[in-house]
Amino acid sequence: MKRTILLIEDNEQNLYLATFLLENNGFEVVPARSGPEGIELAGRIQPDLIILDIQLPGMDGYAVARALRQNASLTRVPIVAVTSYAMVGDRERTLEAGCNGYIEKPINPETFKSQIEKHLKARPAGGGTQP
């Protein structure tokens, strides 16, 4: 069974590149272009992993991560933050908001897959609601 990744990203170029890389590696990708859309989709599709852009218009990625973590059906779903902020403390902020990891923009096609796989391996296969 294909593993599903929910990709919350407002930038079309980043969305295109990440989708291309993930689909080439056998993942099914569901895009969301805003935080509220991502939160709604996450509860509905129960993805195996969520990739979350931190710089989103309106509701930012930190707020989205906190909202995702308030959904009991998503507590086991890894969230990987993506941000172009290179400031010290940003990593801690994403982790405090409920993310499991952090990828810096621009996305590096050489390492992207292994960065995602690392977080999938940390949990058993299957949907977010499985024991």
Is the Cβ of residue 33 or residue 123 nearer to Mn ion in the bound state? 33
Answer whether 41's CB lies under 8 Å from 131's CB.
Answer: no
Closest approach of Mn ion to the CB of residue 87, in Å: 16
Separation of alpha carbons 99 and 122, rounded Å: 13
Q: Interface with Mn ion by CB under 5 A: which residues? A: 10-11, 53, 55
Whether the CB-CB separation of 47 and 6 falls below 8 Å is answered with yes
Q: Which is nearer to Mn ion, 20 or 121 (CB)?
A: 20
Task: Compare residues 34 and 117 and give the one whose CB is closer to Mn ion.
Answer: 34
The Cα 23–Cα 29 span in angstroms is: 7
3-state class (DSSP) for residue 27: coil
Q: Shortest gap between Cβ of 103 and Mn ion (angstroms)? A: 13
**Residue 81 C-beta: closest distance to Mn ion, Å:** 11
Our CB check for Mn ion shows the closer of 10 and 104 to be 10
Least CB distance to Mn ion at residue 15 (A): 9
The token duo for 10 is 């407002």
